[in-house]
Amino acid sequence: MGEGTKKKSGVCPFMKAPMEECYCRSLSSENIEKAYDFCSGDYKACAIFQNVFRAQDVVAAQVAKDSCPVIGLFTGSQRLLQMQARQELSLQVLELLESNPSARNMFRDFIYMLRNFCSVNDITLYILDGDNHLHQEIVGCQGDEVTELMVPKKLDCICGQVLEGDVPDQTLSRNDSGVYWTNDRTSLSQEAAQGLNACINTCCPEQKEGSLALLPVHYQGRTVGVVRINDPKADLFTRDDIRFLDGVCSALSVIVGRARAERNREYAEMIVDTLTSPIAVVDRDYVLRKINGEYLRWLGRTDADVHGRKMVEIVGETVFSQAYAPLLDRAFGGEQVKEKITMDFPDHPAISCSVRCLPHFDAEGSVDAVVIAFHSLE
């Protein structure tokens, strides 16, 4: 197949990823793993894709999401259908991340999507709400119904153990990334079975048999969530399935980051209303997203006049370009800015102010908004 030298410099057309992350590495088939040792990195002539996957067909195919479950042991033509379904799921997850809706809605959409592609009975996500571990956001999907709730306490079930970093007993299999699973719930210890039956928003208590997987969600080096996949079918998961699910669920770490950034921004906006000094929140397009009453009074405007409008429309081109823009641009560059300037307001002509511009960072580390605060020096 290859010439013995691994180049891995191209982009894999099957998973749209660099060759060093080639999906062949995670397949359980012994033949595929041996074939990878000879991979030349020449993806246009990749014998694995041409002879095993028929990658050109896989990439081009518009596959119905229910054509074949993405988990379970399949061979022959069914295996190809499964790989097509995995490709489609991966692409839909990417589309979900790029569509940039509310992160909280993304949790719900992700779990519903995963349940449909897996064709299992029950999938539930447990996510820590912040760093205090006292609140959990739970998104569950049983059948076609998605439920969401917040639990104001630590979880006493087996998922709570995973969130706390406790290792469940050895009757559950575990891989190197911390995924726990079993294909036979009847083989679990009494302690593990009780931990499962304590789960919230699940079919676990009604089921004594079947398969189970617990996939941790990591964010900034910490376990912040668990995806629990539960089904009455025994012998459901292969090691290949576990690797694939672990990879797909890694997208949740991105959603967690966005959700926390959303909360921080919402918190910053709530704080705006409680302060007596003039203060506002401005986005990267210089649009006023939040203005408190004191700043409105200084401007001589109402909230309906200014909310959602660009700052330049409110203060004028000259004032914006000379006073606001230089400070905001520095803050959007990540700098915490504090300057003394003189500004004109309808009821405060030529007032001397201390102006602070505080950048707000999103989950990717980029500044998505600036909090601008004024303090009269007179």
Superfamily of domain covering 275-376 = PAS domain (3.30.450.20)
Q: Where are the beta strands (DSSP E) in the chain?
A: 11-12, 17-18, 122-128, 136-142, 145-151, 173-174, 180-182, 211-219, 222-231, 279-283, 288-291, 337-345, 348-361, 367-376
Beta bridge partner(s), residue 70? none
CATH for the 99-259 domain, from 3.40.50.1950, 3.40.50.1820, 3.30.450.40, 3.40.50.300: 3.30.450.40
Q: What is the pLDDT along the chain (378 residues), one digit of tens a residue?
A: 333 334 444 544 444 444 444 545 444 344 444 444 555 555 555 555 454 444 334 333 333 444 688 998 888 888 888 888 888 888 888 877 766 556 767 888 888 888 888 888 788 888 887 655 556 677 777 666 667 777 767 777 788 778 877 777 778 888 888 898 888 888 888 888 777 766 765 544 445 678 889 999 888 888 888 899 988 888 889 888 999 999 888 888 888 887 777 766 666 666 677 777 888 889 888 988 888 888 888 888 888 888 888 999 988 898 899 889 999 999 999 898 999 888 877 766 777 888 989 888 775 677 888 989 888 877
Q: Which residue type sits at 53?
A: F
- How far CA 190 is from CA of 65, 170, 195, 196, 271, in Å, comes to 37, 12, 9, 10, 49
Please give the model's pTM, rounded to 2 decimal places.
0.57
Please report, for the chain, the start and end positions of each structural domain, with discontinuous segments joined by +: 99-259, 275-376
Q: Which CA distances in Å does 294 have to 98, 314, 319?
A: 37, 15, 19
Residue 316: C-alpha distances to residues 9, 219, 279, 324 (Å)? 52, 43, 18, 10
**CA Rg, the chain, in Å?**
26
The span from the CA of 179 to the CA of 215, in Å, is 5
